[in-house]
Amino acid sequence: MQVNSIHYLFGCSILLVLGDIKLSEVEASSIDHTLFNITRVKRQTTVCDGFQCNSGTCIPKKQVCNGVKDCEGGDDETSCEGTSIFKCANGESINDQSNCDGVVDCSDGSDETDSCKNNVICPGYVFTCAYGACIDKKKVCDGNQDCRDNSDEANCSTLIDNRFKCKSGEIIDEDLHCNGHEDCSDGSDETDACKRDIICPGYVFTCAYGACIDNFKRCDGNEDCKDGSDENDCDTIHTTRKPIPTPTSTEANHPSNGKNCRLPNHPENGAYISLALQKELPPLTWVDTSSLFRVKCDSGYQPTHPFLICDVSGWVPALPPKCERTCPPIKSDSTIHLECKNRNGTRIPCSQATSGTTLEYACEAFYHPADKYDKRRVCIDGKWNWPLPQCIPDCGRERLPGSPLIVHGNDTMKGSYPWSTIIYMKDRDTMKFICGGTMISVRFILTAAHCVTTDDGNIFDNSLFEVAVGKYYSNYSISEPSAQHLKIQKIIVHKEYRGDKRGYQADIALMKTVKQMLLTLFVQPVCITNLCEVTSHGDGLVTGWGAAEPRGKPTDSLKVATYPVKDRSECLNELPKNFTDYYLTADKVCAGYYQKDISVCKGDSGSGLVFANVNDSDRYYIQGIVSLGHRLKFGCNTNQAALFTNVKYYYEWISCILIYQTDSDLYDTRCDHTYPCVPYL
């Protein structure tokens, strides 16, 4: 009797099919649990926060791949392909990644000098120190010196949502910042920083340190500026100044005793607030020359002018300020840079946009506009003329030229396919590479369900897993500057998945990371938007770290393979009938070669099958997930095509989860009622 066998590519677990014997009768002893036969590593008694040599010695990370063998066996200088070395002025060598990173690594400091301006170009998603070094934007204004020259802590804004944060940690109203009076207990709201943070209008008095006070308080015998500069160079001697009598109620409404202006009606949706009295006065009240009123508008409105002042010639401005409806607020963030200008061409916060305000935006590095609208928006009567701009991650870009396979294949170049993800699973004290995956957003990795479940389809605890993006080498312990390692917050497996019991139907899962992945040249998602409308042409690509030989171990570095999609009838003719009858389900795609010694193999499970979309600048879109392949006794069958989960079939399910679970961990049951886009690729 001929014996055929299959395996799913999570380890090399084998299921024997003996003639007419039912699958349920196959003995458990026929399953190869190679995945769990793991070499144990002795528990470390000390923690190395640098690089652990094979001998046990711990060396600083900066000494890895610096051209000098600092470990006894020289293992700090292995696997350094694509790594450059920086020579310090005193002859020392460091990893080029440590040059101009804000931290002094050369003992003479020559890696952090003004020469960084000429030697390094910082991408838009990081902060450029004054002398040219590049640091993480999150480190700017965090109270710590991260640039050598401390330029990351200079000119730090202290305004938070229109409120001022004192150095003591107190929060005060923005109007109290630089008003001449100390409102922070530590006085940090009234310092020379006011010169930088505040521009006083021409009709008020500017204190020597930059604060603004009412003009009529100048030379009134009281120090209203913190530094007393409002009482300097006064022509009148304070001690001889007569007190101003308090007017009677009759005088208060009569144009005499120096009262020159009559308060106009309050603006609709707002009011005029006297800065001297800190309250609202009734309309038509006569007020003194130099009286200053702040225009206070209701929520959702913004004044056409912030102040109203009584001058000898009348009110300034001549037309009383109004309160205009603001457009929905929008702020710059790590993905988009915004600039708003009012109708006079003056730059204003985009949260204060009123009619006539124009908004222009630019996407940060590795992001692009989510729509095809003009990059200019105009605020009209409380509404933007186009939807608010949004920048989404670049996707599907082959960054560097790769070499076309996984079994008997060639290496890729670092950064070639920035969506490639490696999945590790904890085994006692070590993290073991088990599967591949594909980055589809800044929070989600797409992979095969059998990579994250038991044989019966039960999900493993998410704490056992870790994913790495931007990684080139499969070895977990190899430190790579481009790599980002992330823990898993949640694993979501399609509800129809039951493992082999259902022929690996719905072999698809999503892994949500505990935090966002930072987009870089080496870390970017593959495209998945509008997948139902994408038509694939030509061969697809699969990247992974699977075995390079039928009986081999996972490869050290990332490989790439080209795979043609086969017609279903062709696949039925080439693969064994008992294999296709059970495993070639409606949600599977058949792709690969026949009799060419090329195939996916152990460790490639979960990796994505991607195609260049000719209608979208040849961006790569994911279409399949490596699921299972036919197996021979000695290992992977390199002369047969493999089966891939058809991602299009589950696009609505994936899209639903991305929409409802990016900011929530509660599973939305509506995602269980989605339908496939197409029956076949």
The 10s digit of each residue's pLDDT in 59-72 is 877 677 777 788 88
**pLDDT confidence of residue 227:** 92
- Asked if 131 and 113 count as a contact pair (C-beta separation under 8 A), the reply is yes
**pLDDT confidence of residue 469:** 95
Q: What is the mean pLDDT of residues 601-612?
A: 83
**pLDDT confidence of residue 538:** 66
Q: Distance from CA of residue 440 to its chain's centroid? A: 13
**pLDDT confidence of residue 413:** 64
In angstroms, the CA 606 to CA 395 distance is 19
In angstroms, the CA 384 to CA 394 distance is 25
**pLDDT confidence of residue 87:** 84
Q: What is the mean pLDDT of residues 90-101?
A: 83
- Asked if 28 and 39 count as a contact pair (C-beta separation under 8 A), the reply is no
**pLDDT confidence of residue 597:** 47
pLDDT of 248 above 50: no
User: What is the overall mean pLDDT for the chain?
Assistant: 77
DSSP state string for 330-393: ----SSEEEEEE-TTS-EE-GGG--TT-EEEEEEPTTEEESS-S-SEEEEETTEESSPPP-EEE
Which helix or strand (DSSP H or E) is residue 580 part of? helix 577-583
Cis peptide before 317 (omega within 30 of 0): yes
* SS3 state at 455: coil
Q: What is the CATH number of domain 260-325?
A: 2.10.70.10
**pLDDT confidence of residue 406:** 41
Q: What is the mean pLDDT of residues 278-302?
A: 90
Cβ burial of 554 (10 Å; 0-12, 13-18, 19+) is: buried
Residue with tokens 């064994």, as numbered in its chain: 576
Superfamily of domain 410-661: Trypsin-like serine proteases (2.40.10.10)
Answer whether 260-325 and 410-661 agree in fold: no
**pLDDT confidence of residue 534:** 64
In angstroms, the CA 589 to CA 328 distance is 46
pLDDT of 22 above 50: no
Which stretches of 45-127 are DSSP H helices?
116-119
Task: Select from 329, 268, 314 the least CA-distant residue to 295.
Answer: 268
In angstroms, the CA 241 to CA 220 distance is 8
Instruction: Pick the range with the lowest mean pLDDT from 11-25, 81-95, 569-583, 615-629.
Output: 11-25
Structure tokens at 341: 């200008």
Quote the percentage of the chain above a pLDDT of 70. 75
- Asked if 288 and 275 count as a contact pair (C-beta separation under 8 A), the reply is no
In angstroms, the CA 127 to CA 150 distance is 12
Kindly state the DSSP code that residue 249 receives in the 8-state scheme: H
**pLDDT confidence of residue 15:** 33
Task: Select from 654, 642, 533 the least CA-distant residue to 589.
Answer: 642
Structure tokens at 29: 């002893």
Q: Distance from CA of residue 448 to its chain's centroid? A: 24
**pLDDT confidence of residue 33:** 30
Q: What band does 505 get if pLDDT is binned at 50, 70 and 90? A: very high
Task: Select from 407, 536, 308, 450 the least CA-distant residue to 9.
Answer: 450
**pLDDT confidence of residue 308:** 92
pLDDT of 352 above 80: yes
Query: Among 98-107, 111-120, 227-236, 487-496, which range has the highest average pLDDT?
Result: 487-496
User: When comparing pLDDT for 169 and 75, which is higher?
Assistant: 75
pLDDT of 344 above 50: yes
**pLDDT confidence of residue 268:** 92
Which stretches of 132-201 are DSSP H helices?
194-197
Q: What band does 124 get if pLDDT is binned at 50, 70 and 90? A: low
pLDDT of 40 above 70: no
Task: Select from 565, 324, 282, 523 the least CA-distant residue to 421.
Answer: 523
Domain 174-229 has CATH 3.90.79.10: no
Query: Among 20-34, 253-267, 504-518, 580-594, which range has the highest average pLDDT?
Result: 504-518
Which stretches of 48-179 are DSSP H helices?
116-119
The 10s digit of each residue's pLDDT in 356-405 is 899 999 888 888 888 776 778 899 888 998 888 888 888 888 754 433 33
**pLDDT confidence of residue 249:** 40
The 10s digit of each residue's pLDDT in 426-454 is 988 899 999 999 999 999 999 999 999 99
User: When comparing pLDDT for 490 and 30, which is higher?
Assistant: 490
Q: What is the CATH number of domain 336-393?
A: 2.10.70
- Asked if 404 and 561 count as a contact pair (C-beta separation under 8 A), the reply is yes
* SS3 state at 623: strand
Task: Select from 1, 37, 50, 43 the least CA-distant residue to 21.
Answer: 1
Q: What is the mean pLDDT of residues 508-524?
A: 92
Q: What is the mean pLDDT of residues 27-55?
A: 45
**pLDDT confidence of residue 613:** 82
Domain ranges within the chain, ordered by starting residue: 94-156, 174-229, 260-325, 336-393, 410-661
DSSP E strand boundaries for 571-640:
588-591, 608-613, 619-632, 635-636
**pLDDT confidence of residue 209:** 92
User: When comparing pLDDT for 419 and 236, which is higher?
Assistant: 419
**pLDDT confidence of residue 590:** 86
Sign of torsion, CA 386 392 398 400? Answer: positive
- Would the pTM of this model clear 0.85, i.e. be above it? no
**pLDDT confidence of residue 242:** 35
DSSP E strand boundaries for 224-371:
259-262, 270-274, 279-280, 286-288, 292-297, 301-303, 307-311, 314-316, 323-325, 336-341, 347-348, 358-363, 367-369
- Asked if 542 and 402 count as a contact pair (C-beta separation under 8 A), the reply is no
**pLDDT confidence of residue 631:** 57
pLDDT of 661 above 80: no
Which helix or strand (DSSP H or E) is residue 542 part of? strand 540-544
**pLDDT confidence of residue 445:** 97
**pLDDT confidence of residue 566:** 83
Q: What is the mean pLDDT of residues 632-660?
A: 78
The 10s digit of each residue's pLDDT in 522-572 is 899 999 877 766 665 568 888 888 766 655 677 888 888 888 888 888 888
pLDDT of 44 above 50: no
Structure tokens at 114: 């003004």
**pLDDT confidence of residue 407:** 42
Q: What is the mean pLDDT of residues 468-478?
A: 92
In angstroms, the CA 436 to CA 406 distance is 12
**pLDDT confidence of residue 257:** 56
